[in-house]
Structure 1
């Protein structure tokens, strides 16, 4: 029941706002002033957002902010230097509905005569009407006369707003309590992706990159940080507790990279001055609340190390004098606020030991702030490139220990599973955005391999040099890489990186490449088609889909996994490769998962690979490639592209294999096949699992240390979980011993004194009495305890047992008897959990069949429950026998299914497909298991039978 979840100008002089401009009740006030880059779930909607009319464009901002924390409000004034791009008597700007604009003014240099000479003084242009759009965060100014194209001038707005308190987004305030139980206040901004309009009227689109000058009122005892250092601080007449901070003018930048923090902060240690030969000379500082600084020990060194790596990669200096990293108390943003020159982290994120997130946020200083996506539709390529570079840098710094060496396996395998479905993403837009980004990230990895690291870097450096202070599209990146690749003769002149990339980006599918060798001519013919796991393989347009795939081949007669230059780029349905080795030598296409596609071979090549992996030479094949071979074989068998006998043979080397990367895909495979096979051979499959996993587990428990690597702990935990599910006696006995402590507790309903890991094995393999004890704990569960604990207990009560009596007992109490301790939500959960194994859904089907009339009447007014019951009870069968059961039920109750009529009809269609698969594969699996179990020299007496 457990599964392994494999698991982006004209300069205005400042005029100080005096104390007399403050509200009457605030003459002596106490002044104080919540995602990484562009969140992809937002990006999809933002890409559809209508753009401002290109009437004027901003060339500089002067922004003044006065926050009043007690009232949760702020007031401000903004002057925006603009140039008229076309003659118009209308101007539109972004301004959220919650921003109150109290005054607006337009001034311009208007031509004095027909020779279009411009007057030196600014002429005030009257505003006839200011109209907020009722549906969009836009305000239109209708002027008394049109302003000619080419005119320059400025817009001025005075405004009021409310500080956000429910979220840490836009201009927000939050509070925290110190260790001395003193409440402190924090104010800050998170303006990504388009929240600047919620703080001040502006041109809130990424393409408008202009300098900013910010002034802000802050308490004298607090620190204010922004994108640039404070140029000067100014006392406020009559207000001894507050000062104006005037920050230096920023480089040209987008509105969403503007940042501000005001809080009781202290710098961690001394600043680090980073200086290099490319022109970087920047001060790096880390900030936190005083009592939290100890938890940030080491962050200065991490920051310096990561910044050096990223600066060395780009070799294009940041036009910043200072970069501040802040651990902000009670910041609730899902991802850091990566403003240019000021990055705001959750305290827990910045204090963590890893390098990956820090590398991501520092990378955004170049790619995202220095150069910026032209529109939200380019967010994917921005995030993908940053994600790839950050992963590479984190991997380099700590040898992959942070990611346990699993990158890019986890994201790659997830992509394989998602894109091999009949309906990828289950039509969920957010998931589609994330997988699209992941795919592009893997494409950058592919190009780094196939073009070579030097060419890859040269192309990206030229790109960012060309796009400094500008915006970019994905095409700009591909063109820069293509130019570098052609110059270095890494791709044919008639080929472009954009063409290659587009062939992967424009479809939510991946290719399967199959290899057929001809030993008489020492050639190999490669063919490509859509890779599909789910049946039936009837995806529309599949026959027309083609990818540009790099063909990299490793061969056993001259094994070299450092040579990753493609011998060809496959763009057609078929490709012939000459000069292949003889029949006694294997080949490996796409080693190290250079490109995201699985590979199939003829049986002879698979057998050569299996034999080699079982030899001592196995380690000559890198662990990522060993994992790929195993992963490809099993998934191709599952997809009906390879015999399961061959796929099972590819697992024989695991008996000697101890690298966790190679084992990582095994657990998913066990879970997938375990769910799919019928009960008739389940016991044999469990025996195979025990023989496969027990030697590994027994070795892993010999040396358990508190300071051991995470991968070792995780591997031990997964191995134990799957062994317990397969009936491994030592595991079951340990679980029962621990469970007995709960059963013997004086007040067992007060809480569960044992780890959750022990519950499912007991419910599955333990006695009826032990299971009944668990049932009573759900029934008697006190409302004072966390309901999530009850939910977990109920899930395991339903989903773990393979004993028909236990399942029927639960169904009788909750459904037929209508026990008041169980809600409709509970019943939904029970039905769902019973679909996880053949015994569960078979028992549920029989329960439905035997109690049809009662259930039909009970759920007559509960369509959702009825539909869910029919789905859960009929949709999971995979054999002809299961099809017969469901078909007979359909015939027996024809016309009685009501709202679920289409559900059972769909179930029968799907079962017919699955039954074909079972008829073809189950005999093969059983035959292989019989031979394996008979020939195994590993004792399998430490298990409990069903």
Structure 2
């Protein structure tokens, strides 16, 4: 490499040896958490912009030497005159830093590494002037870490040889490219990348672009360089490369781009489902956006260790195994739908995120919300019988729960430091983002929405964007079609949904004498006293219909509510109901007066399933928040006795779960639930039928699991028998329990079983090669009621040799914390192992934050609250700060609910 540098004319001849760790820097370099005299914030200055990276890097996987070494040339343009270059690096050792320039007298004078802000400052001896172009050369080394960030190591055991095989792979989003090589690690600094990967001859490498050439590595026998074609302009978080011994299969009917699927040899046959849906989804999205996928190939890789579900790296999408692989014998319908949804999400990112990239992480939703929305659309294209609209509504119900916390955050949120970035990779950015996009899709109309999206993508291809330019594109198309929203602009409407925390509840008041209807809005919160100092107001698209002329599919707004109160032009007879938010397309709740609720309840069975699910969700939420008497809500859900639609039952079970957590040992409550569920229990049954569709297979286990929880005796006996029969079978026999029933059977069997059953299922977890089956088992293993086993199970989550992969440790914790008996055990484990957990998991995918979030489910007392607050005050929060804030708020809500409503519900149930 020295020869390459020498051929460039001149060059800063000063080279530095330094490390990024705090310690004793040498005389020519500084490594400090806070270098006095040069205050630099975490954000990079805009004075320098990268044009191209030339990166040569080799991972060292031999003999446990988990490091990397590389050389880097960054071609830069100077937007302002400066004498320093500021870029990002973390856990990088700098061996040589030089300026490669036609100007012979430019030399590096000082390199400062700021550990706290992950910045590196390279100073030179003269001013680099605006408009000039220079090249920075860096020789460096790094760490192949095991915290699933940056350039990291992953391993698996080969079933044929029982040998451990190592893979070096990457996860750079959101801020981890800097852990692999020094770079301008912010999304607005797009550049081209020319990547060369070093590897052993018996391994393979993959990167974003097609392979250009391979050459022997000088002075290293049996090693080669793989040189890749230059990339399109892209952000650092989308760069990816892997060195591995995986197998691959090429999809036969995917001529452009070429689709290749990669996995370890033992599970390569489980890529078949992805080979069927992936190319079809990509072609569908190309047709919708009217912009061809710009690369010649698309590699899709299943990794044994991966912190997220998947990552949309351009041309090289990486997945955790359970999110990509489908074992046809063991994959449950839920897992198959998850694989399709994740695939659709990542492929939609090729346009939303990769082609057009948010300028900063504050607008994360611009890629994640849209990828979720269009990912669902792509799944609906390849699996039209799955009713993906139902999934959008189920997700809406879920996110409305978390977004009703006062400690929620806006979709577009200001970020000051890197710890905050990972905390917004949550349901607000993904699901709320998707839900407000769905709302736009309805109030603009499908065609206007589509044309606006196409305009946005065309205009900002290979560039960065903020949400205002999206509003401009949508408003432009709306004006062409004379859509009424143009009189207020899309920005006027949507800023109220993206820049404010939470969402509104539409309060409906009727004058039954005059027939008039008045609506007003206020922020919806779980706090019984309401949101503190709440003055928010939203532009709400109002859709409604009446009993005399029901039009449930008319989702274009009849009016807009932007002031606190509005009186409708329509009048309604006193003996008929009015219904708002048709199809629950708006991101808000609706609450009526008691009389209208009763009228809706009387017509409940005649309403469409989506409306029935909405009424169940809104009524129970209103009661939980103190805005509706529980007697009204319970009268409505009593109609579930004749209900067999899964969407409606999903809404009911999601809301009733909160009540159940406080009343699971109440006999009258369980008796009431058994009565409500009798028909659905009998209809769906405990045995899979040959003619079952996807929805039946997906929902049977969940319905039966609930039946067992509330005491359905046949359900418990059946689960016990299923598990007993399997345990008594010869070891070589396949699992006889239908895949879609296993979650119910495993959990119920362990709840009423003991150590021998637990050990049996634990051994099955260790043996299975199915990622989805491992997930089912991990959740179920926390269902046992033995304290010692639960503690032992938690300890496996911080043991490298236990068999629980680091990516799955938080599932272990959540399964124990989600057990009423395990709540205290989990909390004690978290307190006693806080330092160990944070060191083990790092901050990458916020595993410890997810553990904190799992705590409050059964914490309902003042004692619980004080213990949690004391614990929070005693630890360093980092990426767990939001999780603690929301957990504490949730415990406060739980305590208030228990005090105010538990006795009330008990009295109501005694009268039924």
Tell me, yes or no, whether TM beats 0.5: yes
Match of 2:626 among 640, 643, 646: 640
Is 2:669–2:906's contact at 8 Å kept on the other side of the alignment?
no
1:306, CA displacement in angstroms? 0.8
1:377, CA displacement in angstroms? 1.6
CA deviations over 1:600-624 (Å, ceiling 9, x no partner): 223443333223234xxx2xx4312
Gap change, CA 1:606 and 1:200, over 3 Å in 2: closer
Q: Which residue of structure 1 lines up, in the alignment, with residue 140 of structure 2?
A: 160
1:823-838 matches, within 5 Å, as 833=821
Matched, 1:502 2:495: yes
1:448, CA displacement in angstroms? 0.7
Gap change, CA 1:101 and 1:457, over 3 Å in 2: farther
Match of 1:602 among 593, 599, 606: 593
Q: Following the alignment from structure 1 to structure 2, what is the Cα–Cα distance between the partners of residues 776 and 581?
A: 64
1:614-763 matches, within 5 Å, as 614=605, 618=606, 621-673=607-659, 683-701=667-685, 704-705=688-689, 708-709=692-693, 711-712=695-696, 715-731=699-715
Q: Which residue of structure 2 lines up, in the alignment, with residue 562 of structure 1?
A: 553
Q: Which residue of structure 1 lines up, in the alignment, with residue 356 of structure 2?
A: 371
1:866-885 matches, within 5 Å, as none
Q: Which residue of structure 1 lines up, in the alignment, with residue 386 of structure 2?
A: 401
Q: Which residue of structure 2 lines up, in the alignment, with residue 803 of structure 1?
A: none
Gap change, CA 1:106 and 1:665, over 3 Å in 2: same
Match of 1:297 among 261, 265, 272: 272
CA deviations over 1:471-516 (Å, ceiling 9, x no partner): 1122222332233223322234341222322222333332111223
Q: Following the alignment from structure 1 to structure 2, what is the Cα–Cα distance between the partners of residues 777 and 154?
A: 63
Q: Which residue of structure 1 lines up, in the alignment, with residue 879 of structure 2?
A: none
Is 1:272–1:300's contact at 8 Å kept on the other side of the alignment?
no
Gap change, CA 1:624 and 1:240, over 3 Å in 2: same
Tell me the SS of whatever aligns to 2:222. Answer: strand
Q: Following the alignment from structure 1 to structure 2, what is the Cα–Cα distance between the partners of residues 246 and 739?
A: 53
Q: Which residue of structure 2 lines up, in the alignment, with residue 250 of structure 1?
A: 231
Q: Which residue of structure 2 lines up, in the alignment, with residue 308 of structure 1?
A: 283
Match of 2:119 among 119, 134, 138: 138
1:202, CA displacement in angstroms? 2.4
CA deviations over 1:565-590 (Å, ceiling 9, x no partner): 00011111111111345344432200
Match of 2:92 among 90, 94, 98: 98
Gap change, CA 1:922 and 1:466, over 3 Å in 2: same
Is 2:701–2:742's contact at 8 Å kept on the other side of the alignment?
no
Gap change, CA 1:876 and 1:143, over 3 Å in 2: closer
Q: Which residue of structure 2 lines up, in the alignment, with residue 344 of structure 1?
A: 318
Tell me the SS of whatever aligns to 1:415. Answer: helix
Is 2:56–2:71's contact at 8 Å kept on the other side of the alignment?
yes
1:73, CA displacement in angstroms? 3.8
Q: Which residue of structure 1 lines up, in the alignment, with residue 177 of structure 2?
A: 196
CA deviations over 1:853-886 (Å, ceiling 9, x no partner): xxxxxxxxxxxxxxx9x99777799xxxxxxxxx
Q: Following the alignment from structure 1 to structure 2, what is the Cα–Cα distance between the partners of residues 358 and 452?
A: 26
Q: Following the alignment from structure 2 to structure 1, what is the Cα–Cα distance between the partners of residues 209 and 723?
A: 59
Match of 1:539 among 531, 542, 550: 531
Q: Following the alignment from structure 1 to structure 2, what is the Cα–Cα distance between the partners of residues 572 and 611?
A: 32
Match of 2:300 among 316, 322, 326: 326
Tell me the SS of whatever aligns to 2:689. Answer: coil
Matched, 1:56 2:40: no
Bigger radius of gyration, 1 or 2? Answer: 1
Structure 1 residue ranges without an equivalent (≥5): 1-11, 17-47, 109-121, 275-280, 745-752, 765-770, 800-824, 837-867, 878-905, 930-946
Tell me the SS of whatever aligns to 1:456. Answer: helix
| Bigger Cα displacement from structure 2, 631-640 vs 361-370 | 631-640
Q: Following the alignment from structure 1 to structure 2, what is the Cα–Cα distance between the partners of residues 335 and 761?
A: 27
CA deviations over 1:622-644 (Å, ceiling 9, x no partner): 31221111222233233333344
Q: Which residue of structure 1 lines up, in the alignment, with residue 368 of structure 2?
A: 383
Match of 2:395 among 387, 390, 411: 411
Q: Following the alignment from structure 2 to structure 1, what is the Cα–Cα distance between the partners of residues 641 and 235?
A: 56
Is 2:546–2:578's contact at 8 Å kept on the other side of the alignment?
yes
Q: Following the alignment from structure 1 to structure 2, what is the Cα–Cα distance between the partners of residues 339 and 564?
A: 36
Gap change, CA 1:686 and 1:531, over 3 Å in 2: same
Q: Which residue of structure 2 lines up, in the alignment, with residue 854 of structure 1?
A: none
Q: Which residue of structure 1 lines up, in the alignment, with residue 468 of structure 2?
A: 475
Tell me the SS of whatever aligns to 1:125. Answer: coil
Matched, 1:359 2:344: yes
Is 1:83–1:153's contact at 8 Å kept on the other side of the alignment?
yes
TM-score (norm 1): 0.69
TM-score (norm 2): 0.72
Is 2:582–2:611's contact at 8 Å kept on the other side of the alignment?
yes
| Bigger Cα displacement from structure 2, 243-252 vs 545-554 | 243-252
1:744-893 matches, within 5 Å, as 792-794=783-785, 833=821
Gap change, CA 1:143 and 1:238, over 3 Å in 2: closer
Is 1:420–1:533's contact at 8 Å kept on the other side of the alignment?
yes
Is 1:106–1:124's contact at 8 Å kept on the other side of the alignment?
no
Matched, 1:126 2:107: yes
Q: CA RMSD in A?
A: 4.6
How many residue pairs were aligned? 751
CA deviations over 1:92-132 (Å, ceiling 9, x no partner): 23233423232423415xxxxxxxxxxxxx53412222333
Matched, 1:229 2:229: no
Q: Which residue of structure 2 lines up, in the alignment, with residue 455 of structure 1?
A: 448
Is 1:794–1:830's contact at 8 Å kept on the other side of the alignment?
no
Gap change, CA 1:229 and 1:243, over 3 Å in 2: same
Gap change, CA 1:317 and 1:529, over 3 Å in 2: same
Q: Following the alignment from structure 1 to structure 2, what is the Cα–Cα distance between the partners of residues 298 and 591?
A: 35
1:147, CA displacement in angstroms? 2.6
